[in-house]
Amino acid sequence: MSPETKQQLEAFGALKSDLYHQDFLITWEHPRSQIEAILALAEILKGLHQQGVSYRAFDTGLAISIFRDNSTRTRFSFASAASALGLSLADLDEEKSQIAHGETVRETANMLSFLAEVIGIRDDMFLGEGNRYMREVGEALSEGARRGVLHRRPSIVNLQCDVDHPTQSLADLAWLKKHFGGLDRLKGKKIAMTWAYSPSYGKPLSVPQGIIGLMTRFGMEVTLAHPEGYGLIPEVVEVAAKNAAASGGKFRTVGSMEEAFAGADIVYPKSWAPYRVMQRRTELLQKSDKVGLSALEKECLANNARFTSWECDRAKMNLTHDRSALYMHCLPADITEVSCPAGEVSAEVFEQYRIPTYHEASYKPFVISALMFLSRVKDPAAKLASIVERARSLVL
């Protein structure tokens, strides 16, 4: 065991977690101490993996994934987390299931879960739907456990919904903690969460919402920037403001990327669809109104096109603190002249920060592992100590 791991284990032992047999859906529903425990555990697991030490915690059992939207990195992060803990991945492919013919969510939730430990869900297509769906599944699981149908209630991990993308924002925060040398070092740091131009439409709001909802809790000065009409869900913006007030941080919304970048320590330029557009889109999708959807897409792309100047380029980066803010992105980014003619970020800026964005992403499987571990293990610190004591090599 490395001295760093030893120190981390002691620090983890002092933290409090209340996730046992609970779900993790929204970061701001959990106390800051819970967030700290998740980050601490994710770092320890990452360190163990680096040392080639297995932190397998389960002998058998299922980790179920339900992806209602395409995914690469979250899908593989979830698969990686499951494997590392010893769980078997079972993906629910709704097209190959019988769910189509009128089965209720509460029934399906129980039918899948007799031997499940965790259920990861991505459902970010419809505003007002994804998070609600997760809670509906959660209520069904609670009923199943209460009525003795399920021996133990599996825990739900939100792998992105319409409101939050907690495994992303937690991975982002873990990376910031590492990059700046500790959570306490983030106090007073200026982060610009800004809209950026993309030649696509309908991107979910959950990443920017997740960032402003989480970073405001650590005393950071969070600036949200977007063109007029590109606002986020109002309730989440209110949460961010309240969080900032409570943590001694700041939160404000501005109308230009330049204003947000000025003096920033961290920039997070990322496209998203306007809240009101997503509302209209949700209605049209529910009515399967193809003509309406096509018209909306055209309208939105035309509107987006008014804001091609919202690109993270060298000139704007030069406005940041010491001209060298940390660039962040959840990936994949729309890179000008690489993945599209004009996009969220210039090729030159992206290339400079490409490897840092990979480091940022590298925390996600360990954050998911930590969520699984804390939600399924009764005494996480003791269990972790015994796992490290055992020190089983990845290669047996």
The C-alpha angle 324, 43, 269, rounded to 5 degrees, equals 35
Whether residue 332 is preceded by a cis peptide bond, meaning omega within 30 degrees of 0, is: yes
- Of the candidate spans 207-215, 224-232, 254-262, 376-384, the one that interacts with a second copy by CB under 8 A turns out to be 376-384
CA 284 to chain centre: 27
Cβ 384 to a second copy shortest distance, Å: 12
Q: Residue 37 CB, nearest distance to a second copy (Å)?
A: 18
CB 197 within 8 A of CB 310: yes
**Cβ-contact 254, 223 below 8 angstroms:** yes
| Between 264 and 387, CB nearer to a second copy | 387
Centre a 10 Å sphere on the Cβ of residue 61 and count the other Cβ atoms it contains: 18
Kindly list the strands in the beta sheet with 88-91, ordered across the sheet, starting from the edge strand earlier in the chain.
88-91, 62-67, 116-122, 155-158
Residues within window 18-47 making contact with a second copy, judged by CB under 8 A: none
E strand or H helix that includes residue 253: strand 250-254
Nearer to a second copy, 99 or 262 (CB): 99
From residue 77 to residue 116, the character string flagging contacts with a second copy as x (rule: CB under 8 A) and all else as - is x-xx-xxxxxxxxx-x---xxxxxxxxx--xx-xxx-xxx
Say whether residue 50 binds a second copy (CB under 8 A). Answer: yes
User: Which stretch, 125-133, 254-262, 313-321, 332-340, contacts a second copy (CB under 8 A)?
Assistant: 332-340
**Shortest separation between residue 57's beta carbon and a second copy, angstroms:** 6
At its nearest, how many Å lie between a second copy and the CB of residue 267?
Answer: 19
Indicate the residue among 135 and 354 with the shorter CB distance to a second copy. 354
Please name the residue ranges forming H helices in 216-346: 234-247, 257-261, 275-286, 290-304, 314-317
Q: Binding residues for a second copy, how many (CB under 8 A)?
A: 82
Q: Is the dihedral of CA 88, 92, 93, 99 positive or negative?
A: positive
Nearer to a second copy by C-beta: 32 or 179? Answer: 179
- Closest separation between CB of residue 393 and a second copy, Å? 7
Which of 5, 339, 352, 385 binds a second copy (CB under 8 A)? It is: 339
Pairing label, strands 116-122, 221-225: unpaired
Cβ proximity to a second copy: between 37 and 112 the closer is: 112
336 binds a second copy (CB under 8 A): no
Report d(CA 366, CA 44) in Å as an integer.
Answer: 9
Least Å distance, CB 376 to a second copy, is 6
167-206 residues near a second copy, rule: CB under 8 A? 200
Nearer to a second copy, 45 or 240 (CB): 45
Helix (H, G, I), strand (E, B) or coil at 177: helix
For the CA atoms of 84, 88, 92, 97, what is the dihedral angle to 10 degrees?
170
Burial class (CB in 10 A: 0-12, 13-18, 19+), 265: buried
Residues of this chain, 269-328, that bind a second copy according to CB under 8 A: none
Residue 138 binds a second copy (CB under 8 A): no
Contact positions with a second copy (CB under 8 A) in 229-248: none
Q: Please tell me whether residue 56 binds a second copy under the rule CB under 8 A.
A: yes
Give the C-alpha distances (Å, rounded to integers) separating 156 from 18, 135, 381. 14, 9, 21
Single out the residue of 60, 235, 288, 322 in contact with a second copy (rule: CB under 8 A).
60
The span of 141-149, 223-231, 270-278, 306-314 binding a second copy (CB under 8 A) equals 141-149
Range 340-369, binding a second copy (CB under 8 A): 340, 354-355, 358-359, 361-362, 364-365
